[in-house]
């Protein structure tokens, strides 16, 4: 029984570390290490982190062209626990550019849109998706969708997973989430980078967050995690609504990849067979905090560090 991660729009991530990044200026990098290249896209990031945690998983989605081939080969080369199962499309896979300025602690990100996916490509993907679900127990659906894919695609993916009794975890923007919620995913973590909107409502006061979390619960989501003020979360389960807060102060510049580390932590907990949702959220946050200790996207997390971090999470009941 395995874990499946779905990344419909993978990317080749390029991280460039420089000093005093300025628009309209030439920047020269001191060494090769200042420019890193790695397979990316939210689901793929989760796959890589699960590999670190020793959990075998299958990575699925669409790839295209030379960039697609690099993503696939790199993914397998460095990660023994990852099996690839990508559907190829005609256009090139995208590249995501991240400029990390250590001097001013800023991150500038440029995410490209991705190759066009035809209906025929989608049908082939769905066929392979169903094959993989037949022997999976957890399915992570994460990130944006490439051009040509219907906005309600995640709803369909959750429905297929539920038919086969596979637990579903979704981490995506509000516009992709709302239709998926109709299918009743088990764990939902909205991607709040950018707009603070959920179920079409803008979130301002803490009450807005609680209301949204409760609405998710009514839609039979077993665990809802909504990030609040950089590093804190509003967490809702059947038993209540809580405010999770790490003791450690998190730098804004270190948030790259923490959402994916969170999901990896939750999967790690659920994979072991436990079903305490609040506890799963704790492991998720501990994993995210560990990831946030460094500015780079790819931070190796190990389970001992996560266990250590569990002690440093403050939990306050909201409801």
Residue 84 to residue 25: CA distance in whole angstroms: 40
**Cβ closer to other proteins: 31 or 134?**
134
Using the rule CB under 8 A, is 83 a contact of other proteins?
Answer: yes
Using the rule CB under 8 A, is 52 a contact of other proteins?
Answer: no
The only residue of 17, 18, 49, 58 in contact with other proteins, by rule CB under 8 A: 58
Of 28-36, 81-89, 271-279, 307-315, the segment contacting other proteins by CB under 8 A is 81-89
Using the rule CB under 8 A, is 260 a contact of other proteins?
Answer: no
Residue 238 to residue 192: CA distance in whole angstroms: 23
Using the rule CB under 8 A, is 27 a contact of other proteins?
Answer: no
Using the rule CB under 8 A, is 197 a contact of other proteins?
Answer: no
**Cβ closer to other proteins: 83 or 294?**
83
Q: What part of residues 84-143 is at the interface with other proteins (CB under 8 A)?
A: 84-86, 88, 124, 127-128, 130-132, 134-135
Of 69-77, 140-148, 199-207, 303-311, the segment contacting other proteins by CB under 8 A is 69-77
Using the rule CB under 8 A, is 307 a contact of other proteins?
Answer: no
Question: What is the closest distance, in whole angstroms, from the C-beta atom of residue 134 to other proteins in the complex?
Answer: 5
């Amino acid at each position: 029984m395995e874990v499946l991660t779905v990344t419909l729009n993978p990317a080749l991530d390029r991280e460039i570390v420089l000093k005093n990044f300025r628009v309209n200026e030439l920047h020269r990098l001191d060494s090769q290490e200042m420019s890193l290249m790695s397979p990316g896209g939210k689901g793929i990031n989760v796959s890589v982190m699960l590999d670190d945690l020793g959990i075998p998983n299958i990575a699925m989605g669409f790839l295209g062209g030379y960039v697609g081939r690099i993503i696939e080969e790199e993914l397998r080369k460095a990660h023994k626990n990852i099996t690839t199962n990508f559907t190829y499309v005609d256009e090139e896979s995208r590249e995501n550019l991240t400029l990390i300025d250590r001097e001013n602690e800023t991150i500038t990100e440029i995410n490209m849109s991705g190759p066009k996916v035809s209906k025929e490509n989608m049908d082939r993907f769905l066929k392979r998706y169903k094959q993989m679900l037949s022997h999976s127990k957890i399915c992570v659906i994460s990130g944006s969708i490439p051009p040509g894919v219907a906005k309600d695609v995640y709803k369909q993916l959750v429905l297929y997973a539920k038919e086969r009794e596979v637990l579903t975890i979704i981490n995506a923007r509000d516009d992709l989430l709302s239709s998926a919620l109709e299918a009743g995913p088990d764990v939902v973590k909205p991607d709040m980078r950018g707009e603070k909107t959920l179920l079409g409502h803008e979130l301002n006061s803490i009450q807005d967050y609680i209301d949204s979390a409760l609405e998710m619960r009514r839609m039979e989501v077993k665990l809802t995690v909504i990030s609040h003020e950089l590093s804190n979360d509003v967490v809702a389960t059947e038993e209540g609504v809580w405010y999770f807060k790490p003791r450690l102060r998190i730098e804004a510049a270190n948030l790259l990849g923490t959402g994916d580390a969170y999901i990896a932590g939750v999967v790690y907990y659920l994979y072991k067979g436990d079903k305490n949702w609040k506890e799963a959220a704790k492991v998720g946050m501990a994993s995210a905090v560990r990831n946030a200790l460094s500015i780079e996207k790819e931070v190796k997390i190990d389970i001992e560090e996560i266990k250590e971090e569990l002690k440093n999470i403050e939990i306050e009941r909201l409801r």
